[in-house]
Structure 1
């Protein structure tokens, strides 16, 4: 049989029937070039991954050099220079607070390693605590797609099909998300005390000696839409963990490695995790790579036990991945890109809020650094989400990818109850300029305006809004032109 000259849609990713429409032929800077001649502005760095853009010559050369010298060797038999140097770099980036690094392939894989390390810690104590096998996570969390990571997660659309396959050794407490979590009249200090008490109560319910760790994203990721913790939240959570002898695991796969304006997101929270998970921006997409960092106190305990860590995978400490990540992190350090993230992030925040918040269906814009989410609601006062059946977030993404818009927005849902709640993330590469940001906001505004204008004429819109108690017509707002228009719900 002759080989096909065009892709045959044999690759399965998420959907058995539909396939991504855009075939990417090349990429440079913050743009992806399609086979039909379009340039897609990647406003989401893929999934908060491509922090250096798509054609950094230094990183490419580092990967090629490693490919030509040692492309692979078994991590259980040998060590390589780039893997050793990357681990040293990561440990030094924490000022030695973390003293060991495990190099993995994906964020999900790294989360699983973190869970196994936590369990191992309690098994290797001088007086072992074998009952500590329960993990407390948070409502609306997302920690990865593998079975162990799904145990922690609360993105119901992705979790529920596999509920019978996954362990039931986790439970959830409320996330720290002021948009929906802060009660009327409640200040942030009172909010933190309430959340700390909720965590304390959960320890008591499960049994304090059964809890292995509290696991949280330092800044919420795709499922929660960049929910930012309030001041004092993580120290309060860590105090509860310390009270009961449990560990604090922070998942910074998406929000870490400079994305939120400090190399590690926890540096802005007055807390140090016992175990830290990083990924995505670690290698900037030039290679699949993630890492788990272990606090020096735990490492001391591991070493004192004289026992090993019962874990191993074929592609751990992969030399090409390590070489890519090491080059990426040196560039970020040498070019002071974390400070740039802070400056460009403040500009992006102002532009997004000035342009989009006036829209009647934009409920909240939140984030930090170059990590922002735009959430949509049917009513700003009640914060009522659009019905899941409307698939608003998918419509936004789909329109963005069409000719005339050409912007990649990272869409997600479930932020309200695990099913409903539409938002998208804007998290451009660290090399983004003010001009790029202006373009991103302009294109995003047109996507929002035109999506709602089309929806207003559809049967799906009438079905979704049926029964809404409205004081007259819903006022739309043309944020591209700055003019009001009326969208009538019949």
Structure 2
């Protein structure tokens, strides 16, 4: 597939949304400040109301993995809508959901044997929580009621998902509505900031595994359902791959106590890290019992997520009669047909190879362009999932990541800017996650904008 050339960067710069102005005339609730309004999109480019074109460097939030306007996907959507637009999964099955489930399980290297398809990443995490509970109840161990996850972590925006995750800015308002006993947390792996002097990555990983073991023993392993983790941490830490030996060490503890291992690949999975499943890229052979997927699964063309389960979990649930979770749009035929076409295109066009190559290129060029720049603490990632960690005080208003994000927008590039990525309060990070179809030239253009914007923001801060 020939990449479509990115537009020439706008000159003069775009006028970004003001941090203080109020929305007038909008019928939408979400934003309190004006948002740029997109009217169309093609490949990696959005066109705004005033005709300005802006490059999509983050795919929304690591979603639009094939860019916009893919005619094959639109055709698959149209054909399925014409053939069978909807059927309720409790009454009938449908071919696209069966085909999508088989496609994913067949490529899981034996990890998964069945799937269910839902509507959002948060919904997939909720489904995983409920599935863990049902598994242990059906096994005659209803006293298992605890889940251990990590801090900082983000697993979604519904109440159960917020309880598993732990980003204070997203979670604290709802604390009175969250269980104070069911969800517990151990530290997320942040080797570069948290390792002891002369402590190797494998030794650091072993230390974190020991801390997990201590938490399990504190709660009683007979009371714990599962351990939840992202293979590559996305929004909570600003793209953080695990240190060497992390998942083997964690798995040894979890398996030793007969606890389920759940991996949240909502953001990092479906090719984003250079393999179909994120754990295949970073977990050193460790496979989860349950896996949540979303975002790149539908490439932004439909709202779809899923959970995949291994044989151990499937056997218990099916022997009990059925999975006791159901949603109106579960296994939706149009959504599944589109997701299957997305997966087929990624495989047919060998885009995972491009993800790996262009991701390595992006980080190498960023490291070269930002060498010696104050405030740049780390450049990291896997595949086309890259994080830039920045040092700046949390007392800044607006925060530093928001300033760089705004500067990128002025220069014609969309990225994510995140704050609180060290401990929920301190820490600034940028996330870049472009479409898998990106070319080498387009990577270099994005890097040029990022370097220019970061340097300008640092200079303004130091002035």
Q: TM-score by structure 1 length?
A: 0.87
Q: Which residue of 2 aligns with 1:144?
A: 156
Q: Deviations over 1:77-122 (max 9, x none)?
A: 1222111111111111113431110101000000010111111110
Is 1:241 the counterpart of 2:258 in the alignment? no
Equivalent pair of 2:39/2:47 in contact (CA under 8 Å): yes
* Number of corresponding residues: 437
Cα drift, residue 386 of structure 1: 4.1
For 2:244 and 2:287, the matched residues in 1 are separated by 14
Q: Which residue of 1 aligns with 2:5?
A: none
**More displaced 10-residue stretch of structure 1: 157-166 or 336-345:** 336-345
Q: Which residue of 2 aligns with 1:338?
A: 352
**More displaced 10-residue stretch of structure 1: 340-349 or 393-402:** 393-402
Equivalent pair of 1:357/1:363 in contact (CA under 8 Å): no
Cα drift, residue 54 of structure 1: 0.6
Kindly indicate whether structure 1 or structure 2 has the higher relative contact order, using CA contacts under 8 Å at least 6 residues apart: 2
Cα drift, residue 313 of structure 1: 0.7
For 1:156 and 1:357, the matched residues in 2 are separated by 32
For 2:25 and 2:107, the matched residues in 1 are separated by 45
Equivalent pair of 1:400/1:406 in contact (CA under 8 Å): yes
**More displaced 10-residue stretch of structure 1: 74-83 or 279-288:** 74-83
Can you give the 5+ residue segments of structure 2 that lack an aligned partner in the other structure? Answer: 1-23
For 1:114 and 1:203, the matched residues in 2 are separated by 20
For 1:36 and 1:357, the matched residues in 2 are separated by 36
Equivalent pair of 1:277/1:291 in contact (CA under 8 Å): yes
Is 1:79 the counterpart of 2:93 in the alignment? yes
Q: Which residue of 1 aligns with 2:70?
A: 56
SS in 1 for 2:113: strand
For 2:196 and 2:239, the matched residues in 1 are separated by 19
Cα drift, residue 353 of structure 1: 0.9
Is 1:454 the counterpart of 2:452 in the alignment? no
Equivalent pair of 2:375/2:458 in contact (CA under 8 Å): no
Q: Which residue of 2 aligns with 1:295?
A: 310
Larger radius of gyration: 1
Q: Which residue of 2 aligns with 1:163?
A: 175
Equivalent pair of 1:274/1:295 in contact (CA under 8 Å): yes
Moved over 4 A (4+): none
Matches within 5 A, 1:5-44: 8-13=25-30, 15=31, 17-20=32-35, 22-44=36-58
Of residues 355, 359, 363 in structure 1, which corresponds to 2:369? 355
Equivalent pair of 1:41/1:408 in contact (CA under 8 Å): yes
Q: Using a 3 Å threshold, how does the CA distance of structure 1 residues 207 and 389 change in structure 2: closer, same or farther?
A: farther
For 1:65 and 1:292, the matched residues in 2 are separated by 26
Equivalent pair of 2:394/2:425 in contact (CA under 8 Å): no
Is 1:70 the counterpart of 2:78 in the alignment? no
Cα drift, residue 266 of structure 1: 1.1
Equivalent pair of 2:100/2:340 in contact (CA under 8 Å): yes
Is 1:134 the counterpart of 2:146 in the alignment? yes
SS in 2 for 1:255: coil
Cα drift, residue 212 of structure 1: 0.6
For 1:92 and 1:328, the matched residues in 2 are separated by 16
SS in 1 for 2:453: helix
For 2:245 and 2:202, the matched residues in 1 are separated by 8
Q: Deviations over 1:373-430 (max 9, x none)?
A: 111114xxxxxx543644111222222223xx11001111111220221111011110
Equivalent pair of 2:61/2:416 in contact (CA under 8 Å): yes
Equivalent pair of 2:379/2:389 in contact (CA under 8 Å): yes
Equivalent pair of 2:111/2:288 in contact (CA under 8 Å): no
Q: Deviations over 1:39-60 (max 9, x none)?
A: 1111111100001011111111
Of residues 186, 198, 205 in structure 2, which corresponds to 1:185? 198
Is 1:197 the counterpart of 2:210 in the alignment? yes
For 2:460 and 2:344, the matched residues in 1 are separated by 46
Is 1:374 the counterpart of 2:380 in the alignment? no
Cα drift, residue 298 of structure 1: 1.3
For 1:386 and 1:419, the matched residues in 2 are separated by 7
Cα drift, residue 10 of structure 1: 1.0
